[in-house]
Amino acid sequence: MSCEDELTVKVDNVSFSYGTKRNPCAKTLKGITINAQKGQLIGIMGPNGCGKTTFMRCINKVLKPQEGAIYIDGKDVDRLKMMEVAKLCANIPADVPDDFHLSVEEFVALGRYPYVTGIWWEGEKDERLVREAMAAYHVTHLRERKLGELSSGEKARVLLAKGAVQQPKILLADEPSAHLDLKFKLQVMQALKDLSRQGVTVITASHDINLIAKYADLVIIISEGGILSYGPPSEIINEEIIRAVYGVEVLVIREKGELFVVPLRPADPEKGNNEDPGTCEKGIVAD
């Protein structure tokens, strides 16, 4: 890899539970340990409710883990003020507030909030960064438009621009491409990849295994709150692990160093190999 081996995120044996002392409940995260290098794009996979989002919320201190510690650039997140965390770590929300008549430019500028020192207005440096980010994500022509008037693809680019303007060391993106068509999915993932090549550690959760396989440097598979597997996508994504995590039979095709996952049918819970008469995908794909 071209990036230097600098550690940006160290997650040390983190456990988290949504329960309280009076009302305990099972742990959502159990002893997660991860070391992420500067400039890596890390994809998190796992079924619904496995703890992906909880894990990402712990990294930027929205949630406080009961056990373990998280270090960003060697600093214990728990000891940092939220304002300091905000300068290290940005996240891409799922959607924009679209019924308050905020313009694209005003929205992107909100990413500068942790840096603004004046009472009211952003400084010249903030404005320059906002202009640059809008240009980089091709939304300059939309600057005066209201968020409510944008298409899904435009919203995704505006959200990325807001994240970039925050100048983070780590960018968290939970399902950044969920509502997008194929072209925008690729564009968003490529944008995340470009950011990682500029030295930002990008951590993204997605249900789209093929996108993760194509773009991620490392994949973390979380199942029932713990890490099931961790490594480069080509090494850890295979039929067995997908069946174990998602309960789905897939066909994994490897070609010219790339990896494609084709879902076939829900796996039989008994792990037998009964043919499902209702599916015909297997025949098509096998050819």
Binding stretches for other proteins (CB under 8 A): 57, 60-62, 81-87, 89-91, 93, 97-103, 105-106, 109-111, 113-114, 116, 119-124, 127, 146, 148-149, 166
Distance CA 121, CA 181 (A): 37
Which token pair is 170? Answer: 């780590």
Supply the minimum distance, in Å, between the C-beta of residue 236 and other proteins. 30
The two structure tokens encoding residue 99: 């019924």
Our CB check for other proteins shows the closer of 117 and 198 to be: 117
User: Strands (DSSP E) along the chain, which ranges?
Assistant: 7-16, 29-37, 41-45, 67-72, 75-76, 89-92, 170-174, 201-205, 218-223, 226-231, 248-255, 258-266
Cross-strand bridge partners of residue 220: 44, 230
- The distance of closest approach from Cβ of residue 7 to other proteins in the complex, given in angstroms and rounded to an integer, is 22
Strands (DSSP E) along 46-101, which ranges? 67-72, 75-76, 89-92
Shortest distance in whole angstroms from residue 82 CB to other proteins:
5
CB of 58 to other proteins, least distance (A): 12
- Minimum distance from residue 14 beta carbon to other proteins (Å): 18
Residue closer to other proteins by CB (options 168, 233) is 168
Q: Of 18 and 113, which has the nearer Cβ to other proteins?
A: 113
Nearer to other proteins, 52 or 57 (CB): 57
- Among residues 2 and 120, whose Cβ is nearest to other proteins? 120
CB 214 within 8 A of CB 189: yes
